[in-house]
Structure 1
Amino acid sequence: MYPMLINGEQRITKKSFNVINPSTGAVLGLAPELDVENIQLTLKSARQGFEAWSAKTPAERKAIILRYAELIDENSGRIIELLRAETGKPQDNAEYDFGMLSTCLRFFVEEVERLDQPVLHDPDGRFLHYMLRQPLGVCVGMLAWNFPLLNVGYKIGPALAAGCSVILKPSSETPLASLEIAYLAKEAGLPDGVINMVTGTDHDMMKNMLQSDIPSMVTMIGSTRGGLEVMNSSCSSVKHFSVELGGNAPVVVYPDADIKNAAEQVTNLKFANCGQICVSPNRVFVHESIYNEFVELALGIAKGIEMGPLVSDKARQYVLGLVESAKAAGAEVVLGGNAIDGDGFFMEPTILRNVSPEMDVSRNEVFGPVMSIIPFSDSDDEIALANDTEYGLAAYVFTTNLQNGLRAARDIQAGSVCVNEVHYSVQLPHGGLKQSGVGKDCSRYSLEEYLTLKRVSVLVD
């Protein structure tokens, strides 16, 4: 049993749920089902935690946060082992997932010192006007299972640095390593109630949390459908939202691109984490003049990739269904396309060619190891093809023509566009347009969302 953490105490409830190891299908551990009583306790604790944490000086908070990061790193071995067991990640992926947590803590505690609080011009010379940033309040975060600890870091990094308290609900698929991280908060010196970690499988139960007027912010990493449900439930009072939702990332490979580089970049990202990445390339538009060569290069790279499992059999069946639907509509499977027999929820890396934009595998977020390669010609509007989706999280462009690259970066409707190389980092803002969400993770732009912006005017004449 892995208890919840509420007000600095580990708590269990009358009911619990199983956490499954996706590599074996066996039960790994148990976590408590959140109930109404503990929701009210959590809300009260988070409010008290905010009062204590926001009253500390930035220097006091910095020392505690850095100690917390040190403690997390000191426990890396056992936490990474648990993370691998609940996600099925290979070692290098798990180490990256884990490492981003302490990276976020250290980045944001430094970045908060660089935020400006400008003095504003007064045309009459009678007032001193300045902007004041202050901690926003209690923040409720609901997190996805694909990168459990990275997702925790994306939320507690800016929240703690800003002086906020947090209530986090990790995914019921992968809550265990996140709970272990929460247990270390008290040892680091964080006041009780600053970090609260709750678990459960009943989405309706969380509505009691979201409908309270105690949270000032609701933040989430997950699907667009889930994001809409969370936002609807939260609108019983005015709250801030920062939600990173679904993606259906396009890739545009122009005929002048470095085709080997393009194939390597796209294929390696596509099959990383078994395709379970929100910014994973789903629709790969390749000019017809280099189409066959790109397919062959991608095929050769994908054959050498070893992947972990999908998170559940339900997830695997969904992805396999998209492959079967595409085949029935005329797509050709050039690699994979099948579940792997045996324990766990493994699937072959899969490449589809001759995919059309109308197929379900092109219209929907795949979130699995399926790469669809779609040809385009000079008569096609490749930017319109890339934008033909409700999502707008990430996009990728490969070209050696500066004009093509700049035009695509300008016109593709996505929160981030990478040209000629995939690149993500904690100092760069990450978030979506259209139905892929609002707000940002990472960078100073995320930190600003956890702070109020108050104008102060002082009469001086």
Structure 2
Amino acid sequence: MLDLDFSADRLDAANIIGGGWCAATQGAVIEVENPADETVIGTVPDSSAEDAARAVEAARRAQPGWAAVPAVERGRAVRKLAGLIAERSEDLARLITREQGKPIGQARGEVGATVGFLEYASENARRIEGDIIASDNRDEEIHIRRHPYGVVVGLTAWNYPAALAARKLGPALVAGNAFVLLAHEITPFSGLFIAALAEQAGIPPGVVNVVSGRGPIVGQALVEHPGTGMITMTGSNRAGREIFRTAADGMKVLRLELGGKAPFIVLEDADIDRAVAAAVTARYTNCGQICTCNERMYLHRDIADEFLEKFVAASRALTIGDPMTDPGIGPKVSGTEVAKVKSIVDAAVAAGAEVLLEGGPLTEGPYAKGHWYAPTVLSLANNDSPVIAQEVFGPVVPAVRVDDFDHALQLANDTEYGLSAYIFTQDHRRLMQTPYRLNFGEIYVNRANGEQFQAFHNGWGHSGLGGEDGKYGFDGYLRKQALYMNWA
């Protein structure tokens, strides 16, 4: 049985391949840093393409036996895995905070989502359905059947390392696939934690495998491997394009959830206090490191001053500090991320943005160690700014005044992204028009972000392909087969 004390002060973990712990073939390791104080909390293998191939081959060997297990039994095993995670929820929450930096309360919320994704997936075990269609021929029926792809490769982002792994792992396993997870090199331990419990849940060795390492090496090898049947990835638009190109030669099936640039529209009839509270939550949760975050605000001129006064005050009031004390905002995940956000803000200010709240990098006193960035609010005249075009992925938000509903929609749709959007209004006619005119796969009406397990998390445009969650997401882990049954 796999075992590792994930609550230890230091974790020196290995890959999980074929049910056992495995070091990288070349022996190299990656140091994992705590974003709050830059201490090294452990190491994981710096794996190679050879290690990736070993993981895929282990999954290929295990998958036929797993697919032969009745779906309801596969579902029970996934539900048991959810229960085992729930029993150790505080261990996983603290692990998430240590490697990713989100406040402990938010990390506990991520663990709850991790359990929920697996529980929902388990409920789909009795929903693998086909069709029988009448044939044009005598003595014949057409059966539409659903089958697993075989080996599913999961590539996840660092911002929600446990929840994103579970979001993909659960439906893949219930559908009868084996799974190989690339544990992101910044936040690898959460995925290893989940996989280490799989055998205790009754999931056979080799069905769940985890390889840590760098995306350009290990990720590319997993995508290119001829044994990989499907790739599901959450990450940046740039990485998604690279995976799309790499997968093309092998005609691999892709599900890509990429970046977002969510507009936050507040019209003149909105409940201002409710909109401000939602805007704060949707911008600053996880230090703004969520693909559905409030990335740009479009405010009707009649209410813009009142909204911004309250929003800036609420932003200034947020506490920043040690994530284990559950502040309003924890650290950014890395120094590279801090530098990226600063460069976007500097470019926006140079292009004429007005600074309503000057935050920026924090580097002194209690912030001398770690990767800290204080909330920053900008006011812009229009969409012609780098901070409007680029995904910030941090606690920075620009605001633009708009003349009316049509003007707001015009500016909101002026982007290559199409993941999430927000609108606040009490006008029923506008709300009925919104899904036809706002070009995003997920729209939040009069509320903050936070998708639900039974819905569908789906990006349009350059924000991705496919989608996750609910019955539509689960169906994506099964391929269809047409069987012509002739008994003449």
Tell me whether the two structures share a fold, i.e. TM-score over 0.5.
Answer: yes
The answer to whether the aligner puts 1:101 opposite 2:114 as a matched pair is yes
2:386 corresponds to: 360
The answer to whether the aligner puts 1:246 opposite 2:259 as a matched pair is yes
Aligned partner of residue 192 in structure 1, secondary structure: coil
The answer to whether the aligner puts 1:232 opposite 2:242 as a matched pair is no
Q: Quick one: which amino acid aligns to residue 267 of structure 2?
A: Y
Structure 2 distance, partners of 1:114, 1:139, is: 20
Partner residue of 1:83 out of 62, 79, 96: 96
Identity %: 32
Structure 2 distance, partners of 1:108, 1:125, is: 40
2:7 corresponds to: none
Partner residue of 2:329 out of 303, 307, 315: 307
Q: Quick one: which amino acid aligns to residue 411 of structure 1?
A: R
The Cα shift of 1:273 comes to 0.5
The Cα shift of 1:236 comes to 2.6
1:384 corresponds to: 410
Structure 1 distance, partners of 2:331, 2:105, is: 15
Range 293-302 or range 390-399, more displaced? 293-302
The answer to whether the aligner puts 1:321 opposite 2:349 as a matched pair is no
Partner residue of 2:156 out of 143, 149, 154: 143
Distance 1:5 1:288, change over 3 A: same
Structure 2 distance, partners of 1:93, 1:379, is: 34
Partner residue of 1:2 out of 6, 13, 16: 13
Q: Quick one: which amino acid aligns to residue 275 of structure 1?
A: G
1:434 corresponds to: 461
The Cα shift of 1:427 comes to 0.7
Distance 1:326 1:186, change over 3 A: same
Structure 1 distance, partners of 2:149, 2:50, is: 26
1:418 corresponds to: 444
1:69 corresponds to: 82
1:445 corresponds to: 472
Deviations along 1:157-193, whole A, 9 cap, x unmatched? 1101101011111211111121121111122221111
Q: Quick one: which amino acid aligns to residue 23 of structure 1?
A: A
The answer to whether the aligner puts 1:271 opposite 2:271 as a matched pair is no
Range 166-175 or range 207-216, more displaced? 207-216
Q: Quick one: which amino acid aligns to residue 395 of structure 2?
A: P
Range 163-172 or range 361-370, more displaced? 163-172
Structure 2 distance, partners of 1:325, 1:435, is: 23
The Cα shift of 1:362 comes to 0.3
Q: Indicate conservation of the 8 Å contact 1:390/1:434, yes or no.
A: yes
The Cα shift of 1:303 comes to 2.3
2:421 corresponds to: 395
The Cα shift of 1:379 comes to 9.4
Distance 1:379 1:83, change over 3 A: closer
The Cα shift of 1:380 comes to 6.1
2:232 corresponds to: 219
Aligned partner of residue 186 in structure 2, secondary structure: coil
Aligned partner of residue 440 in structure 1, secondary structure: coil
Q: Quick one: which amino acid aligns to residue 354 of structure 2?
A: E
Equivalent residues, number: 461
Structure 1 distance, partners of 2:243, 2:258, is: 11
Q: Indicate conservation of the 8 Å contact 1:339/1:348, yes or no.
A: yes
Q: Indicate conservation of the 8 Å contact 1:398/1:405, yes or no.
A: no
The Cα shift of 1:123 comes to 5.2
The Cα shift of 1:254 comes to 1.3
Structure 1 distance, partners of 2:381, 2:97, is: 34
2:52 corresponds to: 39
Aligned partner of residue 185 in structure 1, secondary structure: coil
Aligned partner of residue 131 in structure 1, secondary structure: strand
Structure 2 distance, partners of 1:458, 1:170, is: 44
Q: Quick one: which amino acid aligns to residue 360 of structure 1?
A: P
Distance 1:327 1:184, change over 3 A: same
Partner residue of 2:65 out of 36, 39, 52: 52
**Structure 1 runs not aligned, ≥5 long:** none
Structure 2 distance, partners of 1:355, 1:295, is: 14
Structure 2 distance, partners of 1:355, 1:29, is: 47
Q: Indicate conservation of the 8 Å contact 2:338/2:373, yes or no.
A: yes
The Cα shift of 1:304 comes to 2.6
2:434 corresponds to: 408
1:11 corresponds to: 22
1:457 corresponds to: 484
Q: If the length of structure 2 is used for normalisation, what is the TM-score?
A: 0.91
Q: Quick one: which amino acid aligns to residue 421 of structure 2?
A: A
Structure 1 distance, partners of 2:138, 2:455, is: 38
1:295 corresponds to: 308
Q: Indicate conservation of the 8 Å contact 2:263/2:295, yes or no.
A: yes
Deviations along 1:331-365, whole A, 9 cap, x unmatched? 12222322122221111111112353111000000
**Structure 2 runs not aligned, ≥5 long:** 1-11, 319-327
